[in-house]
Structure 1
């Protein structure tokens, strides 16, 4: 499976840099990149963009994202998935988990789910 990640604007940019340094073929975008949602885009619109473009959202927004996902699904929409980062994880732990997931995930394994990290 080819996984593509969209990093929430509140995730440090260096996460993408470090992921791509180790896994240059992985597609990792950040909110604010060209052709990605712009900074300040509402969470519901980010979910629609992820659905339309096939990206899994990586975020630390534990407060409102579950509500937005519930509303998104109630509207008969879907999303490839959301990975919720635990802020106590090191950057190395986050990178390792995202890489393992990218290499081992089944088609649609995380569809319509919020997966809380760490999962390993």
Structure 2
């Protein structure tokens, strides 16, 4: 079982979390906007700080501004467990398979301070 935990940004469809939980119940997958988490509308730099502090890999579909946000985060001397960028050309099933593979085969520091674009291969 992996120690990787995922935070889905608010623009990732809730179906992803439901399918991940159904297929891999031990996986920890939270979503921006859930009670006790950053609320919807939280700015990306704040979400990166939250992920750093709580040890969550961010799963997002924000390909435009996330590289700049990560660069600013790193320039401030901060770190993040990682960012996984969804690929709009992948089906939901393919994406779920990819996230389960990452969860099951990766160590928590494998994606530290990186943006990884899906699919891995």
Category of TM-score, reference length = shorter chain: over 0.9
* SS of aligned partner of 1:20: helix
In the alignment, structure 1 residue 73 sits paired with structure 2 residue 97 = no
Residue in structure 2 matched with residue 14 of structure 1 by the alignment: 15
For structure 2, the 5+ residue unaligned runs are none
Count how many residue pairs are aligned between Structure 1 and Structure 2: 120
Residue in structure 2 matched with residue 90 of structure 1 by the alignment: 91
Residue in structure 1 matched with residue 42 of structure 2 by the alignment: 41
Residue in structure 2 matched with residue 64 of structure 1 by the alignment: 65
* Closer, same or farther: CA 107–19 of 1 in aligned 2, 3 Å: closer
TM-score w.r.t. the length of structure 1 is 0.97
Residue in structure 2 matched with residue 101 of structure 1 by the alignment: 102
Kindly provide the CA deviation profile for residues 24-60 of structure 1, in whole angstroms up to 9, marking residues without a partner as x. Answer: 1100000001121100000000000000000000001
Q: 2:12 and 2:62 mapped to 1: Cα distance?
A: 10
User: Once the 2 structures are TM-superposed, how far is the Cα of residue 107 of structure 1 from its aligned partner?
Assistant: 3.7
Following superposition, which runs of at least 4 residues in structure 1 exceed 3 angstroms of deviation? none
Residue in structure 2 matched with residue 25 of structure 1 by the alignment: 26
Q: 1:18 and 1:107 mapped to 2: Cα distance?
A: 22
* SS of aligned partner of 2:84: strand
For structure 1, the 5+ residue unaligned runs are none
8 Å contact kept, 2:81–2:108: no
Residue in structure 1 matched with residue 120 of structure 2 by the alignment: 119
